[in-house]
């Protein structure tokens, strides 16, 4: 088996890891509720032109929910309905959201829309290139089969395979943006202009730079970080040293697929530009609040804890009122969890509770 996809099913989200040579090479989160649940690159949707903005640009509103910029916008009156394809989903920048961008698909009639649509799960499986999918149990298998429909890919149940990856740890380091390697640390910080990467550590600066040059592309692929990425290497003594680090970076970047890269300049700065077809893992987890779980992520974490709770009887999900209000807006997810557990669920708001809250089981 060259590569396989571990697929963990949870209320509100599925967590995926592409395993290559026994290690996670790509970590992905598929949300079934919230901001990142429906809009993805390549999705075909019906939209209505709300406002023509000039310069072949318009604001459109989707039939389901949300808005996007239409580029290039055809010369059509406001109120016109048409089929569009998502070019770029919404982007979560620090402190603000950037609207999605879509393009017209005038070759597709609204009546024929379903024949051209694909699902995000199917798109993610195709993008991974995995030869097989592994799930942990029959419940996960049934859920996955329903999501994938007629997709032709082998799915097996192997609980022990999940020992290869710690999804919770991957989430924690994605949120913190701090990744340790031998004698050093890589820090990844989101800004509105680009993703900035800093290198720190003790000992020989050249050795640290060489190690970081090999590690950074791996992290970009693992966390699906695209767009503009700036790397600030430690100061190097001469040009020959800089060229050796640059060569190591170029070699490691081969695993990234399509990208552009600048050479490391005299100040130790290099830039990588990758396609950005969707949100990175830090963006999914944190939204517009870097280094802190978003409200949606905290609500989903509470659902996940409840799903994995042991014992019998009613579950009380206790959390900040804002989290409880969000869970109440997801009645289908709460009902599905209740059915899975075979127990009633009570949502309890408590303003004194920090983090994502906790789960109380009436009978352990």
Q: Do residues 110 and 126 both lie within one domain? A: no
Q: Same structural domain for residues 13 and 95?
A: no
Tell me, yes or no, whether 199 and 248 share the same domain.
yes
Both tokens of 274, joined, read 């990758």
Helices (H) and strands (E) in the chain, counts: 10, 21
Number of domains in the chain: 4
pLDDT computed for residue 35 by the predictor: 85
The 3-state DSSP class for residue 242 equals helix
What is residue 217's predicted lDDT score, i.e. its pLDDT?
A: 97
For residue 284, is it within any domain? Answer: no
pLDDT band at 258 (very low <50, low <70, confident <90, very high): very high
Scanning the structure block, which residue is given the tokens 């280094």? 291
Does 123 share its domain with 30?
A: yes
Does residue 289 sit within a domain?
A: no
pLDDT band with cut points at 50, 70 and 90 for residue 357: very high
CB of 87 within 8 A of CB of 279? no
Among 130, 165, 200, where does a domain finish? Answer: 165
CATH number of the domain that residue 242 is part of: 3.30.1710
Q: What is the reported pLDDT for 293?
A: 96
Between 360 and 116, residue with greater pLDDT: 360
Cα–chain-centroid distance for residue 265?
Answer: 31
Listed as own residue / partner, the contacts of 325-328 with beta carbons closer than 8 Å and 24 or more positions apart are: 325/349, 326/295, 326/296, 326/299, 327/299, 327/302, 327/303
144 and 206 in a single domain? The answer is no
The confidence band for 347, taking pLDDT boundaries of 50, 70 and 90, is: very high
Residues 225 and 154 occupy one common structural domain: no
Quote the pLDDT of residue 1.
Answer: 46
| Interaxial angle between packed helices 138-148 and 120-128, expressed in degrees from 0 to 180 and rounded to the nearest 10 | 100
For residue 70, give the H/E element and its range.
strand 67-70
CA atoms within 13 Å, Cβ hemisphere of 124: 26
Tokens standing for residue 293: 């779980």
The answer to the question of residue 288 being in a domain is no
| Contact predicate 245/205, CB 8 Å | no
Q: Which of 15-29, 132-146, 332-346 has the lowest mean pLDDT?
A: 132-146
Angle of helix 321-328 relative to helix 331-341, nearest 10 degrees? 90
Above pLDDT 90, what percent of the chain? 75
Domain interval for residue 54: 44-116
Q: What is the mean pLDDT of residues 210-234?
A: 96
**Sign for the pseudo-dihedral over CA of 223, 227, 232, 238:** positive
Q: Which of 37-41, 90-94, 295-299 shows the highest mean pLDDT?
A: 295-299
| Residue 281 falls inside a structural domain | no
Sheet with 132-135: list strands edge to edge.
23-31, 13-20, 3-10, 132-135, 154-157
Residue 287 lies in a domain: no
How many Å from the N-terminal Cα to the C-terminal Cα in the chain?
Answer: 41
Q: Domain containing 355 — which CATH number?
A: 3.40.1260.20
Tell me, yes or no, whether 286 lies in a domain: no
Summarised one tens digit per residue, pLDDT across range 142-171 is: 888 887 776 677 889 999 999 989 999 999
- Asked whether residue 251 falls in the same domain as residue 175, the answer is yes
Kindly state whether residues 30 and 134 are assigned to the same domain.
Answer: yes
* Burial class of residue 196 in the structure, from the number of CB atoms within 10 Å of its CB (0-12 exposed, 13-18 middle, 19+ buried): middle
**What is the arithmetic mean of pLDDT over 96-103?**
93
Give the CATH number, domain containing residue 128: 3.30.420.60
User: Are 152 and 66 within one domain?
Assistant: no
Predicted local distance difference test score (pLDDT) of residue 151: 67
Q: Which residues does 302 contact at the CB level (< 8 Å), separation at least 6?
A: 317, 319, 323, 327, 356, 357, 358, 359
Question: Where is the domain boundary, 144, 165, 186?
Answer: 165
Distance CA 194, CA 232 (A): 13
**Per-residue confidence band for 251, with pLDDT thresholds at 50, 70 and 90:** very high
Label residue 364 by pLDDT band (50, 70, 90): low
Q: Contacts from 67-75 at CB under 8 Å and sequence distance 24+?
A: 67/99, 67/100, 68/39, 68/99, 68/100, 68/101, 68/102, 69/99, 69/100, 69/101, 69/102, 70/102, 70/103, 70/104, 71/101, 71/102, 71/103, 72/103, 72/104, 73/49, 73/104, 74/104, 74/106
For 147, the enclosing helix (H) or strand (E) is: helix 138-148
Which residue carries 């580029």 as its tokens?
A: 71
153-160 contacts, C-beta under 8 A, 24 or more apart: 153/125, 156/132, 158/134
Q: CATH code at 90?
A: 2.40.50
112 and 124 belong to one structural domain: no
**Is there a domain that residue 282 lies in?**
no
Give the integer Cα–Cα distance in Å for 154 and 145: 10
Q: At what angle do helices 239-252 and 205-222 cross, to 10 degrees?
A: 20
For strands 13-20 and 23-31, give the pairing.
Answer: antiparallel
Average model confidence (pLDDT) for the chain? 92
Residues 174 and 154 in one domain: no
- Asked whether residue 12 falls in the same domain as residue 124, the answer is yes
Residue 57 lies in a domain: yes
Unique residue bearing structure tokens 């352990």 = 364
């Amino acid at each position: 088996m060259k590569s396989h996809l571990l697929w963990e099913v949870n209320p509100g989200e599925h967590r995926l890891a592409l395993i290559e040579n026994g290690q996670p090479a790509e970590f992905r989160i598929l949300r079934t509720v919230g901001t990142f649940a429906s809009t993805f690159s390549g999705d075909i949707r019906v939209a209505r032109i709300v406002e023509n903005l000039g310069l072949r640009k318009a604001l459109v509103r989707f039939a389901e929910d949300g808005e996007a910029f239409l580029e290039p916008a055809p010369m059509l009156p406001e109120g016109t309905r048409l089929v569009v394809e998502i070019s770029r989903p919404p982007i979560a920048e620090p402190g603000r959201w950037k609207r999605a961008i879509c393009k017209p698909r005038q070759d597709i009639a609204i009546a024929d829309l379903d024949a051209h649509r694909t699902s995000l799960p199917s798109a993610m499986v195709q993008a991974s290139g995995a030869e097989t999918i592994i799930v942990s149990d029959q419940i996960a298998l049934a859920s996955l089969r329903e999501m994938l429909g007629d997709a032709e890919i082998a799915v097996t149940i192997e609980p022990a395979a999940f020992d290869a990856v710690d999804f919770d740890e991957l989430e924690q380091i994605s949120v913190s943006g701090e990744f340790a390697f031998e004698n050093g640390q890589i820090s990844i910080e989101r800004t509105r202009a680009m993703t900035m990467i800093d290198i720190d550590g003790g000992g020989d600066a050249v050795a640290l730079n060489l190690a970081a040059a090999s590690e950074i592309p791996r992290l970009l692929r693992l966390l699906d970080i695209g767009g503009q990425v700036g790397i600030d290497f430690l100061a190097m003594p001469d040009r020959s040293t800089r060229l050796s680090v640059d060569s190591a970076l170029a070699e490691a970047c081969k695993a990234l697929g399509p990208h552009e890269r600048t050479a490391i300049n005299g100040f130790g700065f290099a830039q990588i530009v990758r396609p950005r077809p969707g949100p990175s893992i830090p963006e999914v987890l944190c939204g517009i609040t870097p280094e802190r779980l978003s409200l949606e992520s905290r609500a989903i974490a509470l659902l996940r804890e409840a799903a994995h709770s042991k014992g019998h009887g009613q579950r009380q999900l206790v959390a900040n009122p804002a989290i409880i209000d969000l869970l109440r807006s997801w009645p289908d997810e709460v009902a599905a969890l209740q059915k899975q557990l075979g127990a009633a669920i009570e949502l309890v708001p408590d303003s004194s509770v920090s983090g994502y809250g906790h789960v109380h089981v009436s009978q352990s």
